[in-house]
Amino acid sequence: MVRREARWSSWPTWGAGQVTLVVAAVVLVIASLGAVLVTPADQPRLAVAFGALIVLGELARLAMPGNRETAPISTAGALGYALLLNIGGTERAAHSAMQVVAVTAIAMTVGALPHIAVGRLPRLDVLARRLITVAAAAFAYRPLAPHLDLHGAWWTAVAAMVGAVTLAMAADLLLTALVRAEALSARVGVALADEFQAQIRLDVAVAATAIIVALAIGIMGIIALLVFTGPLLVTQIAFRRYAAIRSTYLQTVRALARVTEVGGYVEGGHSRRVGDLSVAIGRELGMYEAELLELEYAALMHDIGQLSLPDPIPGGATVFADADEQRRIAKLGAEVIRQAGVLENVATIVEHQCEPYKPNPELPLASRVIRVANAYDDMVGGSGDVDRSQAALERLRLDVAMEYDPDVVEALARVIDRAGRL
Amino acid sequence: MTSLPLAGRLYIVGVVLAAAVTLGFGDYHGIPWVDVAILGVLFLLCESMPTYVATRVSVTVSFSAGLASVVLLGPVGAGLVVLTALFSLHRGLPVIKRVFNAAQFALSAYCAGLVFVWLHGKYGLPQASEFPGLIGPYLLAALVYFGVNSLLVGGVLASTGQIRFRSPKYLHRGPAIVHVANYAAYATFGLLIAALWSVIGWVAVILVLTPLVVARWAFAQYTEQQRAHEATLAAMCQAVETKDYYTRGHCVRVSKGSAMIAEELGMHADRVDAVRHAGMMHDVGKLGVPTRVLQKSGPLTPDEFAKIQLHPMRGVEIVREIGFLDEATAGILHHHERIDGRGYPMGLAGTEIPEFARILGVADAFDCMTSTRAYRGARPVSEALDELRRCAGTQFDSRMVDAMISAVEREGWDPPRPVGPPDSPGQVAKQDHDDPTAPLRVSGDPAG
């Protein structure tokens, strides 16, 4: 069976924000390379050492939950280079902000080559954003560097470093949120909150490491580069495991949700489509990422209660079964999920997925979303036919306010409209 | 204390006395008491808060704090810093353990300090000119700290009779290299703290600990998600079984039995986990077999038998999207193959059958035999093992059978509680495709 790609999200296409980012980064790279060519590089040995570290960091890229690509060691190395004041005691670091950008850009390109060689194409907008992040810190901090001194007023220097990395991280969060909001059709405020929630801890670790490297090289010399990544390496290992189990978890639920299809209880691809559509509607309604994950789990497993029926309902569609029976199946499904003991919210969502909107508008929003998405998919199924989808939407609108939440149905209409225009 | 053997008591008293004498006659001239206090608090916090960096590897960051003290404060100062282990925040830690811990840490730090000063010539805030010469002595000091610490702790475990020699299978679980790499990493943090201290004082501690605290958070999340994943997996697989009254809990037990075999064979921890998952999901494809066929009491028509034979493929159809399962998928597909080549769905023979499938086959049949079925009661464990032995070489791989037998003999096996007939007869299968003692009857098949 060919797996249908998610129709409701437009990740692979390029938005204006992503194009702007890449263009800005390209301009930055050309300017910095030009500047370095005109005035020869300061302390080339240092530049090469940091470049090597950034290359290694790029090799150890990290895919965080939610399709987020980061390279903590690379970013920490580049920021550390930007923050450097002196090398092994008295020698001052004299490089310019332009040189920081040039070294980072070259090293990031070199680091991307092995990934390309094995067929993992880099996401240009992500590389561009990370370069711009580093550039922000470098342009803010390098002009101050000659006035800062670690031997006297070290706290001024450390405060300047903290300010520079904070600026860089804030820029990173903002740019990421803007791009994601555009790509996923989410609200900017929600996207920013999601980014903050997803990235802030790793960002703090990266920022601390960048300051550590700048200070440690100041006292220990270039050899500190070998040592300083230790704490961040431990952090990265922990995050890698976390990201892996998150993705495994989602895969498992997605796959096992299909037992109802293999068993002939529902039409093939139903749970996956309801999952994707629910997430798209939820995002349209401004739900946060954590809520969307629970919504997706619940949507994927919404038919699991049917497993306790001895034989499938003819036709497979729950929308044609009577209301009491539907509610009983939903309850059985919730019981199955509750068995796991870890998905209490998901169980609650599944339990209420069949309640009509009218007498109890206080139902969980996620339940109301699944009710609409499920009804829509029962009528339209995997067909991409526009007339059929409009007819289904009309039928849902007839029952609005009694059966379905009007806001959810309108969000569905917008999602369908957008998918149709692509 | 009174419950300990005499050797243990003497040993503990000896270590504590040695620590007391060493620190008591130490040179307290010029000790920076403020730094001792700050590092002491740091050591105490780290000691009370183990950081997990891998599932079974816990390292306390106190190692780093202790080593930083060695560089900054020398033997006596470092010995004083680590004495704070006495006030460890672990609740319920008996006084005797606190005292011993503090004493053994003090001796370890003191010895490391002696080695460091002997090799490097001095201690105190490291200056830029001391690098990279300081690194060699530091690493040796770290080795001594680790060595003395391990010896003293090993000694107390041996002398109080708490040491247990693990069975060989555990040697495969936590490779020693991981421990060594971890200690090496934590040693470098100590050096970092010491080096940064000379520039920014105690702020160094915050800087170095920040990434570690974040790592600790990420690891806690990982553990939680992993637990949630296992629980969800089990719940969903059990949901599939509700169709048949008698096979409830089958997936959980096959999962356990398969993991026991895999551990007995000395497989790597990751593969044991994969086997466990495969065992859990081996029969999800049964849902693709019509209930009517599963519950049929008479001989099956060839067509119905073909439907049953298809269930491993249906299972694979479901689980193949789960990326981590590669080897497990093959195991699920072939778990009904037989060594003599007369199994299904492909009729593979001998070692053509994937290793995981041979494991699953044994665990699957074993649980079936030790569970109640509609047409027979549960058999005792010993009888089921005999049956496995009898079928070794024809239906099952003898190596897997031997592993199952020795694992069950050592660890025991909890068969499901015998169950009476269900309230509604609609949920009962009259025969079981997993049962080696009563093969499915197919009409027209002379063997049936």
Our CA-based measurement puts residue B142 at a distance from the nearest CA of chain A, in whole angstroms, of: 15
Compare CB distances from B218 to A239, A262, A343 and report the shortest one's residue: A239
Residues A234-260 have a mean pLDDT of 86
Our CA-based measurement puts residue B167 at a distance from the nearest CA of chain A, in whole angstroms, of: 28
In B176-205, the residues whose Cβ lies within 8 Å of chain A are: 185, 188-189, 191-192, 195-196, 198-200, 203-204
What single-letter amino acid sits at A255? A
CA distance A234 to B51: 10
Radius of gyration for chain B, computed over Cα atoms and rounded to the nearest angstrom: 30
pLDDT in tens, A152-210: 788 999 999 999 999 999 999 999 999 999 988 889 999 999 999 999 999 999 999 99
Helix axes A72-83, A124-141, angle to 10 degrees: 20
Q: Is A88's Cβ below 8 Å from some Cβ in B?
A: yes
- Is the per-residue pLDDT at A315 higher than 70? no
CA distance B256 to B266: 15
Radius of gyration for chain A, computed over Cα atoms and rounded to the nearest angstrom: 26
Tell me, what's the pLDDT at A254? 85
pLDDT band at B175 (very low <50, low <70, confident <90, very high): low
Count of Cβ atoms closer than 10 Å to residue B41 Cβ: 16
Identify any residues that bridge with A64 across adjacent strands, giving them in sequence order. Answer: A68
pLDDT band at B425 (very low <50, low <70, confident <90, very high): low
Chain B residues close to A334, C-beta within 8 Å: none
pTM, to two decimals = 0.84
pLDDT band at A268 (very low <50, low <70, confident <90, very high): confident
- Is the per-residue pLDDT at A355 higher than 70? yes
Nearest CA in chain A to B295: A310
- Is the per-residue pLDDT at A5 higher than 50? no
Tell me, what's the pLDDT at B383? 92
pLDDT band at A117 (very low <50, low <70, confident <90, very high): very high
pLDDT in tens, B224-241: 998 999 999 888 888 887
pLDDT band at A89 (very low <50, low <70, confident <90, very high): confident
What single-letter amino acid sits at B64? S
Compare CB distances from B235 to A88, A154, A339 and report the shortest one's residue: A339
In chain A, the percentage of residues whose pLDDT exceeds 70 is 94
Chain B residues close to A336, C-beta within 8 Å: 235-236, 238-239
Average pLDDT, rounded, for chain B: 84
Element (H, E) at A419: helix A406-421
Q: Cβ–Cβ of B321/A341 closer than 8 Å?
A: no
Interface predicted TM-score (ipTM) of this complex, two decimals:
0.86
Which of A85, A228, A240, A242 to mutate to probe the B interface, most B CBs <10 Å? A242
- For chains A and B, what is the number of CB pairs under 8 angstroms? 212
State the maximum Cα–Cα separation within chain A, in Å, rounded to a whole number: 82
Q: Cβ–Cβ of A337/B235 closer than 8 Å?
A: yes
Q: Which of A95-104, A294-303, A405-414, B242-251 has the lowest mean pLDDT?
A: B242-251
8 A C-beta contact, residue B37 and residue B205: no
Q: Cβ–Cβ of A212/B208 closer than 8 Å?
A: yes
Q: Which of A43-57, B63-77, B101-115, B424-438 has the lowest mean pLDDT?
A: B424-438
Give which of A285, A284, A302, A304 is closest to A294, Cα–Cα: A302
Q: Cβ–Cβ of B215/A307 closer than 8 Å?
A: no
pLDDT band at A313 (very low <50, low <70, confident <90, very high): low
pLDDT band at B166 (very low <50, low <70, confident <90, very high): very low
Tell me, what's the pLDDT at B240? 80
Q: Is A198's Cβ below 8 Å from some Cβ in B?
A: no
Tell me, what's the pLDDT at A376? 92
8 A C-beta contact, residue B65 and residue B204: no
pLDDT band at A421 (very low <50, low <70, confident <90, very high): low
Average pLDDT, rounded, for chain A: 88
Q: Cβ–Cβ of A204/B232 closer than 8 Å?
A: no
Q: Cβ–Cβ of A230/B192 closer than 8 Å?
A: yes
DSSP SS3 for A69: strand
> What CATH homologous superfamily does A258-421 map to?
Hypothetical protein af1432 (1.10.3210.10)
Tell me, what's the pLDDT at B404? 94
Q: Is B28's Cβ below 8 Å from some Cβ in A?
A: no
8 A C-beta contact, residue B80 and residue B65: no
pLDDT in tens, B7-39: 888 999 999 999 999 999 888 888 889 999 999
Residue partners of A188: CB distance under 8 A and separation at least 6: A177, A178, A181
Residue partners of A102: CB distance under 8 A and separation at least 6: A29, A32, A33, A35, A36, A41
Tell me, what's the pLDDT at B54? 52
8 A C-beta contact, residue B441 and residue B430: no
Give which of A419, A418, A397 is closest to A408, Cα–Cα: A397
Residue partners of B60: CB distance under 8 A and separation at least 6: B46, B47, B49, B50, B51
pLDDT in tens, B33-74: 999 999 999 888 888 776 555 544 455 678 888 999 999 999
pLDDT band at A1 (very low <50, low <70, confident <90, very high): very low
Please report the DSSP string for A148-197 in residue order: --SSS-HHHHHHHHHHHHHHHHHHHHHHHHHHHHHHHT--HHHHHHHHHH
